[in-house]
Amino acid sequence: MHCFPGILVIQALFMLLLDLPVSSSHVSTESCRALLRRSITAFFYLWYGVPAHDNGRYLHWDHSVLPHWTSSTNEKFEAMINKHHNPELGDIHAPFFPARGLYSSRDPHVLRHQFREMHDAGITLVALSWWGRPSPTAADSQGVNTDDALPIVLAAAEEVRQEKGRGDLYITMHLEPYPGRTISTIKDDLAYIYEHYAHFSAFLPIFYVYDSYHIPPEEWALLLQPWGKESVRDTPLDGLFIGLWLERDHGQALVDGGFDGMYTYFASVSFSFGSTLANWDDMAAFCRRQGELGGKGGEKQVGKRLFLSVLSVGPGYDDEKIRPWNKHNTKPREGLDYMDRMLEAAREARPDAISITSYNEWGEGTQIEAAKVGEWRCEGNWEGNSTHLAVRPYVYQEYKGGDPYLYLNNVKLWRELLWGMAATEDEQTINDKDEF
Ligand SMILES: *[C@@H]1O[C@H](CO)[C@@H](O)[C@H](O)[C@H]1NC(C)=O
């Protein structure tokens, strides 16, 4: 990390010499790799809204109950499916309630606090959930497109970066699977993102690609391998691309597709091959081997390419208020025990970096953001109607010990445990293999 400013200056000079437009003078892939190594990324959601900030509407706090893919299950939950939670009655879509109250992801004051909170916990990379360029179809299940919040979010991050000791806070992108996503729409997305956001100093071109396996490796290779027909490598659209390792064979698929690394995303342990802790040793070892071999198909590459491992940990999982039929995937937090088991497994696997699922995905109960503690219940209203749920009296869960910062403080502690000490001999060896 210490060599980073030097790299930037050299790159800036280089860009000047080449007379490239300002918008393409972004941080190099090598610098991204250096910044990702031994860092903590938090997955950050910016789809929240409250009436005062968002044209009189709640966004996501009033999330509807999602249908199951079988009609028999939907019949069981007929009274709830597609109906909205009702924040006006204190009923939100989550098992916990935010300590700062319901907020808007477009409120600069809230955003600055959130970035400070993350940075204080040792989180330097914030991955924004991004659902594509503005268009009527590029939106999540609640009809929210997150792109229009980005200028506000990036400006807030920029302000926090200027505060003493916070210059290493960066915004990265979490590319979500909007309908119709292909290699060519992704290439256009990259052009759009660079054009609109690369001028923010907070912007770092690291792209986590959710559900990357929806597109086969042969197609990814066209975009991400240096020899691909549509390759972004060594062009102004280049970046560090981290794909999702879900099933057993996805590690190899990501390598073949030309990705720079993998992440596992899921906070529900054993939900996928990639989120099964017993597999993490082998998965991280697989990633290290790519660096040694230069990757499959490396014969066509110039030099060797590292393949980074980013293991995702979370505090628990509970999405029953939006998916009442998904109880079998609920993972109670048990205070810090659940999260500590994931972190301990990650430490043993020696990944390149850690990501946290999530900072604020309240609807899936994976958030580490400060939650209200002390008994907090919604009043209840058994009426309901055709659009809103009949609200049952509901007692929100609280963080153990009544500490709203329990999980953020735990992240800080683990950052020390994972990477606080001087680089071990082993890490030195890995660094020696780096290409810069
Ligand atoms: C249903 O209830 C909600 C919340 O009380 C209210 O905003 C909405 O207008 C109601 N809808 C109908 C169709 O009555």
The string of DSSP codes covering 31-85 is HHHHHHTT-EEEEE----B-TTTTTT--BSTT-BBPPPSSHHHHHHTTTTBTPBP
User: What pLDDT score does 338 carry?
Assistant: 98
Angle at which helices 406-415 and 108-120 cross, to 10°: 40
User: What pLDDT score does 103 carry?
Assistant: 98
CA distance 201 to 353: 22
Q: Are 410 and 122 in contact (CB under 8 A)?
A: no
Ligand 1 binding pocket includes 86 (Cβ within 6 Å):
yes
What's the 56 CA to ligand 1 centre distance in angstroms? 15
User: Mean pLDDT, the chain, as a whole number?
Assistant: 88
User: What pLDDT score does 160 carry?
Assistant: 98
Question: For residues 435 and 396, which has the higher predicted lDDT (pLDDT)?
Answer: 396
Ligand 1 binding pocket includes 385 (Cβ within 6 Å):
yes
Ligand 1 binding pocket includes 383 (Cβ within 6 Å):
no
Q: Residue 429 pLDDT more than 60? A: no
Mutate to test the pocket of ligand 1, among 85, 388, 389 (most ligand atoms within 8 A of CB): 388
CA distance 387 to 164: 48
The arithmetic mean of pLDDT across residues 132-149, rounded, is 77
User: What pLDDT score does 17 carry?
Assistant: 43
Q: Residue 184 pLDDT more than 60? A: yes
Range from 121-125, 183-187, 237-241, 419-423 carrying the lowest mean pLDDT:
419-423
Nearest CA to ligand 1 atom 2: 388
What's the 147 CA to ligand 1 centre distance in angstroms? 29
- In tens, the pLDDT along 289-328 reads 998 654 455 444 444 578 999 999 999 999 999 999 999 9
Question: For residues 85 and 432, which has the higher predicted lDDT (pLDDT)?
Answer: 85
Q: Residue 4 pLDDT more than 90? A: no
The arithmetic mean of pLDDT across residues 83-111, rounded, is 96
User: What pLDDT score does 381 carry?
Assistant: 76
Beta bridge partners of residue 308, listed in sequence order = 261
Phi–psi pair at 42, nearest 5 degrees: -115, 135
Q: For the whole model, what pTM was predicted?
A: 0.88
Nearest CA to ligand 1 atom 9: 387
Ligand 1 binding pocket includes 56 (Cβ within 6 Å):
no
The arithmetic mean of pLDDT across residues 398-414, rounded, is 97
> CA 189: distance to chain centroid?
17
Mutate to test the pocket of ligand 1, among 387, 389, 391 (most ligand atoms within 8 A of CB): 387
Q: Residue 48 pLDDT more than 60? A: yes
Question: For residues 162 and 148, which has the higher predicted lDDT (pLDDT)?
Answer: 162
User: What pLDDT score does 391 carry?
Assistant: 84
The arithmetic mean of pLDDT across residues 376-387, rounded, is 84
CA distance 199 to 379: 47
Q: Residue 192 pLDDT more than 60? A: yes
Q: Residue 21 pLDDT more than 60? A: no
User: What pLDDT score does 431 carry?
Assistant: 38
CA distance 179 to 91: 30
Ligand 1 binding pocket includes 387 (Cβ within 6 Å):
yes
| C-alpha torsion 107→112→113→114, nearest 10 | 90
User: What pLDDT score does 138 carry?
Assistant: 59
What's the 89 CA to ligand 1 centre distance in angstroms? 12
User: What pLDDT score does 304 carry?
Assistant: 58
User: What pLDDT score does 425 carry?
Assistant: 39
* Cβ neighbours, 10 Å, residue 281: 13
What's the 377 CA to ligand 1 centre distance in angstroms? 21
- In tens, the pLDDT along 349-369 reads 999 999 999 999 999 999 999
- In tens, the pLDDT along 7-17 reads 444 444 444 44
Which atom of ligand 1 is least distant from the CA of 381? Answer: 5
Q: Going by DSSP bridges, is the β-strand pair 377-378/394-395 parallel, antiparallel, or unpaired?
A: antiparallel
Ligand 1 binding pocket includes 360 (Cβ within 6 Å):
no
Structure tokens at 98: 């935010």
> DSSP string spanning 304-333?
----EEEEEE-S-B--TTT-TT-GGG-B--
User: What pLDDT score does 423 carry?
Assistant: 41
Ligand 1 binding pocket includes 388 (Cβ within 6 Å):
yes
What's the 84 CA to ligand 1 centre distance in angstroms? 10
Domains and CATH numbers, the chain: 7-57+99-371+403-419 (3.20.20.80)
What's the 388 CA to ligand 1 centre distance in angstroms? 6
User: What pLDDT score does 383 carry?
Assistant: 83
Q: Residue 237 pLDDT more than 90? A: yes
Reduced to 3 states (helix: H, G, I; strand: E, B; else coil), residue 141 is: coil
Instruction: Using alpha carbons, list the distances in angstroms from residue 278 to 143, 252, 263, 311, 353.
Output: 37, 18, 16, 12, 18
Confidence of residue 329 (pLDDT cuts 50, 70, 90): very high
CA distance 97 to 95: 7
Q: Residue 435 pLDDT more than 70? A: no
Q: Residue 19 pLDDT more than 50? A: no
What's the 387 CA to ligand 1 centre distance in angstroms? 6
